[in-house]
Amino acid sequence: MFLCVLRVPAVKKTNQRTDMTETTASRTETWIDVCDVSDLEPDAGVCALVAGRQIAIFHLPKLGKVFAIGNYDPFSHANVLSRGLTGDIGGEPVVASPVYKQHFSLETGRCLEDETVSVPVYRVRIEGGRVQIQLPAGEKRP
Amino acid sequence: MQRKKLVVIGNGMVGHHFIEQLVQTEAAKQFEIITFSEEPRLAYDRVHLTSYFETRDPAKLALTTEDFYREHGVTVHLGDKAVAIDRAHKIVRSEKGTEVPYDVLVLATGSYPFVPPIPGHDREGCFVYRTIEDLEAITRTAAESRIGAVVGGGLLGLEAAKALQDLGLETHVVEFAPRLMAVQLDEEGGAMLRRKIEALGVAVHTGKNTQNIVTGKFQRLKMEFADGDELETDMIVFSAGIRPRDELARQAGLEVGPRGGIVVDDHCRTSDPDIFAIGECALWNGQIFGLVAPGYQMARVVVDLLNGKEAAFTGADLSTKLKLMGVDVGTIGDSHGRTPGAHSYVYKNEHDEVYKRLIVSADNRKLLGAVLVGDAAAYDTLLQYYQNGIDLPQPPDALILPSNEGAPAGLGPDALPESATICSCHNVTKGQIVACIDRGVVALADIKSETKASTGCGGCAALLKSIVDAELEKRGLEVKKDICEHFPYSRQELYHIIRVEQIRTFDELLENHGRGLGCDICKPAVASILASYWNDYVLSDKYFKLQDTNDFRLANLQKDGTYSVVPRVPGGEITPEKLIALGEVARKYNLYTKITGGQRIDLFGARLEQLPHIWKDLIDAGFESGHAYAKAVRTVKSCVGSTWCRYGVQDSVGMAIFLEHRYKGIRAPHKIKMAVSGCTRECAEAQCKDIGVIATEKGWNLYVCGNGGMKPRHADLFATDLDDETLVKYIDRFMAFYIRTADRLQRTSTWLENLEGGLDYLKEVIIDDKLGICAELERQIQHLVETYECEWKKTLENEAILKKRFRFFVNAEGGDDNVVFVEERGQIRPATPEEKHRLKGIPVELEEAS
Ligand SMILES: Cc1cc2nc3c(=O)[nH]c(=O)nc-3n(C[C@H](O)[C@H](O)[C@H](O)COP(=O)(O)OP(=O)(O)OC[C@H]3O[C@@H](n4cnc5c(N)ncnc54)[C@H](O)[C@@H]3O)c2cc1C
Ligand code: SF4
């Protein structure tokens, strides 16, 4: 078998930088500006690129909340969680992976079918109509 | 106190059951338990071994885990066979040289498949059917074989034959006796079973004595029979009975039977009082029990004895019910009518191929045995009459005669005494199940894990459910058919609510009839109902969030997060220009191309952000959406028919194209596949489709509810010699009725199987308009046909949706850098995780999504 890389899509670095201006809020924490609230999909997800990471952001208007978790699905090894269906299981807000349908808690990142698996959860907030994300300390820049 | 050593040889179904039971009792404290397992893994569910072909995952069959054994302090010697028992010193020796002293020894060595000593029986291509390793070997060889033969037409042989057929082989069953399942079935029953199995395409050769297996002329092997006949085959699976594994016992000088088997008494003790034998290796009262339930009973007897309780094995019932190659077969008790004075009632229906026989006592009061072929619905009831000695109704043949009211004449669950055994594998009575419900355990799954009922061979599953349902109903608890936790309704009820209240959105439905946020089960189900009722644009704001990603992005998500694209090719007819255009699109976007079973072309490896570009090119070339992403009508496959084929009697391609255009895009509870063949030679394989049409001299025959894939089902003939107009009318009604009444994700085949009244009822509704709804059903389809739009065309016109939903990042350009392709056979495929690891970071050729 002949192995070669046919394509890996390019990420336009310039664009990325303009979209990710750092906002230093009143406290010392660093919040990264991601997108406009109107860019979110109510009751569904979008994928954001934040400091080289893929983050799935979900807006659930009925709860009046926005959630952010990793976009990478540990079961299918693909970046797909932002494309899953949202809902709740016993009151816990979840997204179902579109590949093998496991549910991940939007609050804790834990997989409901397999306690030993979880995805990262990020802090997210809305400031002045903008969606902002905070990366774990020490990892603000790749 | 020094604990005594208890050694168990063999970690099969019974050996494991013994340990599992023992560790839960007081006696566990007195014993240190050590077990030897010759197989490389802990006990697994041999009864459902055949399901391994579907899952290919040994873990799915496992009965236990190493953790369980560790927790209970059981030492396991995996993959280590015990080779000698030194009774004088009370020591067991293993192949790997382990020596373990014992105080008590339990033999649970099972049995091995008997292979007749035919010259050539050990050639390459010869197999047995007992372990996971056997099945793995069979799978490997089947991949390079065309024909397979099974020696032995008993229960297991037929199960093996089904497996070979599922592996795609032309399958033969070779039986020495003059009929199939000679042990259980009488002559008539065997003959009926044979006809049914032959109709499924398996060749049956009875009365054949194989004398030689030699190299074949055309296939790998050739079987030579005593009567001079020959059979060429690529592989042979021997399933000619089992023999107890008594070699260890023999060598240790324990008493064995003249035809094998370790002799045990009612306490399952061998001729050495410190050694027990349980399961298929044990010979009790001159009998070997080749079923799991008696083995479990023996295991429990020994557990009780070790706990100082009196217990005895008193024999076991060998009644069985099973589905052999889709044919229901049941035998109970004395199925050959050998009891003195016994007489029979027989019901035989050659049209539907059903055979039932009751064997009753001389005084006509008690059931002694029964044979059921083709329809085993009465089995559970009959078994209860038999096992519990219940007096038969008079006359008894009411139990097997078809009843005109459609209600099976049976013992309702209420009629069973508390003492009735429901699950014979785990010896669970009706009383225990009722007690469990009384304790507040009401979910079927919980009742199963609590009582263990129906967790053995599974044969009592239907009976258990009916008892639980009846008990819950008695207590005023409703039997739940809810679609999920958000709606206390079934799909059919939701459909009804939406129709009556004219509900147009999920939120409206949730607000008025549900709770919570919804989930990935109810959302797409409701989206499908709304679509098949209103036919609004699926990506409009109120719908898109309900759709799983396939519907949402109008493409099929693949395992690496990319999509595949399938344009419609109605009836599989395509012009050279369009074929070239397709090829050019595939080349331009470097997509992997594959011809599908539905006679169209699937383009794989499209990234989310490429989809609109690809579809713009396809639509410019005259294509439209193929709805491969939706639970909807997929394709109408066709053969060339009378236009080109010298046998054809009608224009099958023309009809297929007409049907595909009529029904394209209609959302349904599950996908719907159709096909049209130009004559009875059936080259389009219409009889494995949800809707199949086969041309006749006079018109069309309509078949419904067939299925290929994992659970194949032959379609049923629904109506014959229809003209074009009637054909379309019936299909309209059929589709609308299915959409209205089926459960979520229920294909037409399972829908029909669960439809009360079955095919006859369906005919009454659709042909005779028994419910008076046909006009409405037709109107509904007509509305859907008239409001059809190509979803991709509509999407490309909507800039806002394109910009929002078909970009990968909400805040950046570009795509997923985890999508990596490598080349294989001249096309792309997703890189494996190891390949990605190796390849990422290597300079790559950058390609923009034009
Ligand atoms: C395909 C198939 C379908 C079946 N369907 C049904 C069904 O529908 N209903 C039903 O009731 N029964 C069915 N059976 C039969 C059922 O599986 C057996 O009755 C059951 O497995 C018997 O359990 P056992 O523990 O006695 O033997 P086994 O499960 O065979 O276990 C014996 C174990 O001991 C091991 N062993 C033997 N000698 C040694 C040694 N010296 N040292 C260490 N280990 C040793 C063997 O390798 C084996 O793992 C089916 C069997 C097969 C193969
Ligand atoms: S089904 Fe009949 S008409 Fe169609 S290709 Fe086959 S033989 Fe010809």
Please name the residue of chain B whose CA is at the shortest distance from the CA of residue A42: B545
Closest chain A CA to residue B560? A78
Q: Is residue B784 part of a domain?
A: no
Per-residue pLDDT reduced to its tens digit, B166-208: 898 999 999 999 988 888 788 888 888 898 889 888 999 999 9
Q: For the CA atoms of B821, B824, B825, B828, what is the dihedral angle to 10 degrees?
A: -10
**pLDDT-based confidence at B56, cuts 50/70/90?**
confident
E-strand stretches of B785-826: 821-824
A to B CB pairs, distance under 8 Å: 161
Closest CA to B815 of B628, B589, B627, B623: B589
Q: What is the pLDDT of residue B380?
A: 80
B432 CB within 6 A, ligand 2: no
Residue B253 shares a structural domain with residue B235:
no
Return the pLDDT at B541.
Answer: 64
Could you tell me if B770 and B643 lie in one domain? Answer: yes
**Are B373 and B325 spatial neighbours (Cβ–Cβ below 8 Å)?**
no
* Neighbour tally for B567: CB within 10 Å: 25
Cα angle for residues B244, B250, B251 (degrees, 5° grid)? 135
Write down the pLDDT at residue B543.
64
Region B608-612 average pLDDT:
93
Together in a domain, B640 and B761 = yes
CA distance B490 to A46: 31
Residue B704 lies in a domain: yes
Query: So what's the pLDDT on residue B51?
Result: 86
Q: In B152-194, at which residue ranges do the beta strands (DSSP E only) sit? A: 170-174
Q: What is the pLDDT of residue B725?
A: 96
In a domain, B349, yes or no: no
The predicted structure's pLDDT at residue B591:
96
Query: How many Å lie between the centroid of ligand 2 and the Cα of residue B639?
Result: 6
Counting Cβ atoms within 10 Å, is residue B458 exposed (0-12), middle (13-18) or buried (19+)? Answer: middle
pLDDT on residue B114:
93
List the CATH number of the domain containing B709.
3.30.413.10
What tokens appear for B288 in the block? 């070997």
Task: Give the C-alpha distances (Å, rounded to integers) separating B839 from A10, A49, B560, B735, B831.
Answer: 15, 22, 16, 49, 9
Residues of chain A found within 8 Å of residue B829, distances taken between Cβ atoms? none
Residue B434: inside a domain, yes or no?
Answer: no
A124 close to B (CB below 8 A): no
pLDDT at B562 over 80: yes
The closest residue, in CA terms, to atom 35 on ligand 1 is B10
pLDDT in tens, B263-320: 999 999 999 999 999 999 999 999 899 889 899 999 999 999 999 999 999 888 778 8
Q: What is the mean pLDDT of chain B?
A: 88
Distance CA(B365)–CA(B285), nearest Å, equals 28
pLDDT of residue B457: 67
Which pLDDT band, with edges at 50, 70 and 90, does B847 fall under? very low
Q: What CATH number is given to the structural domain containing B30?
A: 3.50.50.60
The answer to whether A9 contacts B607, with C-beta atoms less than 8 Å apart, is yes
Asked whether residue B172 falls in the same domain as residue B274, the answer is: no
CATH for the stretch A5-134: 2.102.10.10
Taking phi first (over 0 means left), then psi (-120 to 50 degrees means alpha), and beta for anything else, what does residue A26 get? alpha
The pLDDT assigned to B181 comes to: 87
- Is the domain of B143 the same as that of B283? no
Is the Cβ atom of B130 under 6 angstroms away from ligand 1? yes
Say if the ipTM goes beyond 0.90.
Answer: no
φ, ψ for residue B157, nearest 5 deg: -60, -45
Is residue B639 lining ligand 2, measured as CB closer than 6 Å?
Answer: yes
Q: How sure is the predictor about B845, in pLDDT bands with cuts at 50, 70 and 90?
A: very low
Question: What is the pLDDT at residue B477?
Answer: 64
Long-range pairs of A133-141 with CB within 8 A, sequence gap ≥ 24: A133/A31, A133/A32, A133/A34, A133/A48, A133/A50, A133/A55, A133/A57, A133/A68, A134/A29, A134/A30, A134/A31, A134/A32, A135/A30, A135/A32, A135/A50, A135/A51, A135/A53, A139/A51, A140/A22, A140/A30, A140/A32, A140/A51, A141/A51
Say how many Å lie between the first and final Cα of chain B, rounded. 80
Which chain B residues have a beta carbon less than 8 Å from that of A47?
808-810
Same domain, B228 and B290: no
pLDDT at B641 exceeding the cut of 50: yes
Q: How far away is chain B from the Cα of A110, in angstroms, using its nearest Cα?
A: 17
Q: Name the residue of B21, B38, B63 to mutate for ligand 1: max ligand atoms within 8 A of Cβ.
A: B38
Domain assignment present for residue B564? The answer is: no
> Is the distance from the beta carbon of residue B161 to the nearest atom of ligand 1 less than 6 Å?
no
Q: Indicate whether B189 and B149 sit together in one domain.
A: yes
B699 with B741, same domain: the answer is: yes
Residue B21, phi then psi, degrees to nearest 5: -70, -45
Whether B674 and B752 share a structural domain: yes
Examine the domain organization and report whether B159 and B98 are in the same domain: no
The pLDDT value recorded for residue A7 is 37
> What φ, ψ does residue B717 adopt, rounded to 5°?
-70, 125
Domain encompassing residue B530: 491-553
Long-range contacts of B300-303 (CB under 8 A, 24+ apart): B300/B21, B300/B427, B301/B266, B301/B267, B301/B268, B302/B18, B302/B106, B302/B267, B302/B268, B302/B276, B302/B278, B303/B18, B303/B21, B303/B22, B303/B25, B303/B27
What one-letter code names the amino acid at B111?
Answer: S
In tens digits, what is the pLDDT along chain A, a chain of 142 residues?
Answer: 333 333 334 343 333 333 344 444 444 568 999 999 999 988 889 999 998 899 999 999 989 999 999 999 999 999 999 999 999 998 999 999 998 889 999 999 999 988 889 999 999 999 989 999 998 865 544 3
Residues B67-97: tens digit of each pLDDT: 999 999 999 999 999 999 999 999 999 999 9
Q: pLDDT per residue over B453-509, tens digit each? A: 877 666 677 778 878 888 887 776 655 667 888 988 888 888 888 887 888 889 889
Q: Domain check: are B105 and B251 in the same one?
A: yes
**Going edge to edge, which strands form the sheet with B4-9?**
B75-78, B31-37, B4-9, B104-107, B275-277
What is the total residue count of chain A? Answer: 142
The residue among B526, B553, B580 that closes a domain is: B553
Label residue B582 by pLDDT band (50, 70, 90): very high
Chain B closest CA to A71's CA: distance in Å? 10
CA B9 to chain A, closest CA, distance in angstroms equals 34
Could you give the count of Cα atoms lying within 13 Å of B352 in the half-sphere of its Cβ?
13
A47 interfacial to chain B (CB closer than 8 Å): yes
**Section B515-530 average pLDDT:** 89
- What is the value of pTM for the model shown? 0.52
- Residues B669, B751, single domain; the answer is yes
Higher pLDDT, B812 or A17: B812
Residue spans of the domains in chain A: they are 5-134
> Could you say which DSSP state residue B179 is in?
S
What one-letter code names the amino acid at B473? Answer: E
What is the B179 CA–ligand 1 centroid distance (Å)? 26
pLDDT tens across B102-159, in order? 999 999 999 999 999 999 999 999 999 999 999 999 999 999 999 999 999 988 899 9
Pairing of strands B282-284, B235-238: unpaired
CB contact under 8 A, A79 and B820: no
pLDDT value at residue B391: 83
Domain annotation covers residue B760? yes
Q: Is B183 within a domain?
A: yes
**In this structure, how many other beta carbons lie within 10 angstroms of the beta carbon of residue B55?**
11
The maximal CA–CA distance of chain B, rounded, in angstroms, is 90
Which of B319, B317, B305, B306 lies closest to B266, judged by CA?
A: B305
Question: Which residues from A are below 8 Å from B820, CB to CB?
Answer: 5, 8
Burial group, residue A48, by CB count within 10 angstroms (0-12, 13-18, 19+): buried
Q: Count of domains in chain B?
A: 5
User: Does pLDDT of B371 surpass 60?
Assistant: yes
Q: Is the pLDDT of residue B842 over 60?
A: no
Q: B518 to chain A: which residues are within 8 Å by CB?
A: 87-88
In chain B, what percentage of residues exceed pLDDT 90? 54
Q: Check pocket membership of B157 for ligand 1, CB cut-off 6 A.
A: no
